[in-house]
């Protein structure tokens, strides 16, 4: 048994169909690891909180922590909320909609140990990494967001907008204190800040598979917020 503890944060909004399976898969793929799963649900109208509480009864409240906010307040701030409950030495952040396969977590852990990385990020844009199931528009949004950020900010990471990552807990706490973003742009800002602070970042290629159940919450407003976030880095301080 690995003595280091891992806190896996799952932000959820209308994920009642996906939650039982992702939790089961995490538990299968984290065999012999010391871990907890923190579900951050924003009072989803589809009853995700109740599903989370039912799963907590099955697997125990040592393994599953259920928390959340009264209403949908954005992905970035959901992570920040979840971190407050994390008791692990490391924090893993991932989507709850099965687009991030839990089998990669052990690869992140192994890679982290090899060079004592501060952060290990899954990448869809290097090595064997890839995206499956997105339409052309969605692929273009992701590629363009990554490209613009790479060119303007040169953070030295191939996938800036992905959210499947492992952080040393103290590193994550320092990063979230310095981040101002609340929505999806949070992922990009975290990597840019990590570069500014000089944190070491390892990459593990991952396959991102688009969700089968439910809908993405990435809308026009999130894209606008992303562009606004980019502009912020160039605004005089």
Ligand X SMILES: Nc1nc2c(ncn2[C@@H]2O[C@H](COP(=O)(O)OP(=O)(O)O[C@H]3O[C@H](CO)[C@@H](O)[C@H](O)[C@@H]3O)[C@@H](O)[C@H]2O)c(=O)[nH]1
The single residue among 9, 64, 75, 175 that binds ligand X, judged by CB under 6 A, is 75
Q: Does 78 bind ligand X (CB under 6 A)?
A: yes
Query: What backbone torsions phi and psi does residue 19 show, to the nearest 5 degrees?
Result: -60, -45
The single residue among 97, 118, 189, 203 that binds ligand X, judged by CB under 6 A, is 97
Binding mask 6-35 for ligand X (x = CB under 6 A): -----xxx-x--------------------
The single residue among 16, 49, 56, 99 that binds ligand X, judged by CB under 6 A, is 99
Contacts 24+ apart (CB under 8 A), 53-56: 55/19, 55/20, 55/23
> Given the complex with ligand X, which of 165 and 168 has the nearer CB atom?
165
Q: Which distant-in-sequence residues (6+ apart) come within 8 Å of 118 by Cβ?
A: 167, 168, 171, 194, 199, 200, 201
Binding mask 123-142 for ligand X (x = CB under 6 A): -------------------x
DSSP E strands, 142-227: 165-168, 201-205, 207-209
Binding mask 150-189 for ligand X (x = CB under 6 A): -----------xxx--------------------x--x--
Q: What angle do CA 187, 189, 190 make, to 5 degrees?
A: 65
Q: Token pair of 8, please?
A: 């896996």
């Amino acid at each position: 048994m690995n003595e280091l503890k891992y806190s896996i944060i799952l932000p959820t909004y209308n994920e009642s169909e996906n939650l039982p399976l992702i939790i089961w898969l995490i538990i299968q793929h984290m065999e012999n690891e010391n871990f907890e799963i923190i579900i951050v649900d924003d009072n989803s109208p589809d009853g995700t909180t109740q599903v989370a509480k039912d799963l907590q009864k099955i697997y125990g409240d040592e393994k599953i922590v259920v928390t959340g906010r009264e209403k949908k307040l954005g992905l970035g701030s959901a992570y920040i909320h979840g971190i407050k409950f994390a008791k692990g030495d490391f924090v893993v952040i991932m989507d709850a909609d099965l687009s991030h396969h839990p089998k990669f977590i052990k690869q992140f852990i192994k890679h982290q140990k090899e060079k004592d990385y501060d952060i290990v990020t899954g990448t869809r844009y290097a090595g064997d990494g890839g995206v499956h199931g997105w339409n052309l528009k969605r692929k273009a949004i992701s590629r363009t967001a990554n490209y613009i950020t790479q060119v303007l900010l040169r953070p030295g990471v191939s996938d800036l907008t992905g959210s499947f990552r492992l952080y040393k807990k103290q590193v994550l706490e320092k990063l979230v204190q310095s981040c101002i973003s609340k929505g999806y742009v949070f992922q990009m800002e975290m990597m840019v800040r990590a570069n500014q602070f000089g944190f070491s970042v390892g990459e593990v290629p991952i396959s991102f598979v688009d969700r089968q159940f439910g809908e993405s919450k990435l809308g026009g407003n999130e894209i606008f917020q992303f562009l606004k976030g980019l502009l912020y880095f160039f605004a005089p301080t």
